[in-house]
Amino acid sequence: MSDVNAPADIDRLGAMVAREPIAPEPRFRDLVVRVIFARASTSIAAIVVVIFFVIAAGATWIAPYDPLEQSFIAVNQLPSWQHWIGTDQFGRDVLSRLIYGSQNSLVFGALSPLFAAIIGGILGVSAGFFGGVTDRIVRRIIDMLMAFPELLLAILIAAALGGSFWNVIIVLTVAFTPGFARVARASTLAVKQEPYVEAAVAAGVRTPVIIFRHVVPNILAPIVVLMTLWSASAIRVEATLAFLGLGTQPPHPSWGNIIRDGLENMFATSWPILAGGFAITVVVLAISILGDSVRDALDPEVNQ
């Protein structure tokens, strides 16, 4: 589940489909219940993720101040009842900036793995299903992109494109696409061997129908697991890009640029740094614990 560790996980995910040909599909609700209540750590992680969603969705109502409102009579304040985490060098309320920053993390954490799953899915399924030249081209692209650690790839693309909202989405999507393509390809190869696909081909069912009716539903599980795991990565990489000044641009709050502003002002107060990083760490930790549990629940190897 670590960045550098992703390839190993991906192979495991790809093999998931291959190893579990006839196991009865667990009902989605049963699966959710089983995952969340399996361990105390998972339950806590689920609660943290729900709180994160609520805060991000309700930022407008929850935040005590406007995150952009500057006040030059209230700069660099320490935590108090008026400002729970104090104020920054522009007199902005740090707590409100953190709360609004969570929206940013949520959007990138949800959208980029989704886009990457769609694009990577299309690439992987076509490579796995059609084989031949398509497969060779896709594999070549995957191998090349996979050679780069995704953060480095993200920095390199951001360097070329610059940091606006959609550019950051593009950056993260490109960085995560090869992983999805690989899983989708491996899973498709496994599903293609199944009798029901062979039967459909023999019966003369049209190719698009085979792909959407028989292949895609059967490779969704590993893709969903990967999306969960990588939304944690996406939040971390987005924060890093914002920290480097390549992501969300100031004055708009992002957990990454709160730390950036904090470092410039560290001689006056270190509260923004500590609080901003704490938020990222807790949310990434919670999402990756959840993702791990989902994977364990779906992966027969662990259950045995």
What are the distances in angstroms from CA 181 to CA 9, 29, 32, 117? 14, 27, 26, 8
Interaction between residue 263 and other proteins (CB under 8 A): yes
**Residue 93: strand pairing partners:** 87
Q: What is the DSSP letter of 23?
A: P
Shorter beta-carbon distance to other proteins: residue 211 or 268: 268
Shorter beta-carbon distance to other proteins: residue 149 or 217: 149
Range in contact with other proteins (rule: CB under 8 A) among 15-23, 58-66, 178-186, 282-290? 282-290
Instruction: Answer whether 169's CB lies under 8 Å from 112's CB.
Output: yes
* 48 φ/ψ angles, rounded to the nearest 5 degrees: -60, -45
The binding track of 86-125 with respect to other proteins, each residue x by CB under 8 A or -, is: ----------------------------------------
Shorter beta-carbon distance to other proteins: residue 13 or 239: 239
Q: What is the DSSP letter of 93?
A: B
Q: First and final CA of the chain: distance in angstroms?
A: 21
Applying CB under 8 A, the site for other proteins has a residue count of 45
Judged by CB under 8 A, the chain residues 145 through 174 that form the site for other proteins are: 147-149, 151-152, 155-156, 158-162
The binding track of 283-302 with respect to other proteins, each residue x by CB under 8 A or -, is: -xx--xx-------------
CA 203 to chain centre: 40
Residue 144: CB minimum distance to other proteins, A: 6
* 87 φ/ψ angles, rounded to the nearest 5 degrees: -125, 165
Judged by CB under 8 A, the chain residues 209 through 248 that form the site for other proteins are: 232, 236, 239-240, 243-246
Instruction: Answer whether 147's CB lies under 8 Å from 122's CB.
Output: no
Residue 162: CB minimum distance to other proteins, A: 8
Shorter beta-carbon distance to other proteins: residue 52 or 243: 243
Q: Which of 1, 114, 119, 220 binds other proteins (CB under 8 A)?
A: 1
Instruction: Give start and end residues of each alpha helix (H) in the chain.
Output: 6-19, 28-38, 40-57, 59-62, 94-130, 132-146, 150-161, 165-192, 195-202, 207-209, 216-244, 255-264, 271-298, 300-303
Contacts with other proteins by CB under 8 A lie at 1-5, 7, 144, 147-149, 151-152, 155-156, 158-162, 232, 236, 239-240, 243-246, 256, 259, 262-263, 266-267, 270, 273-274, 276-277, 280-282, 284-285, 288-289
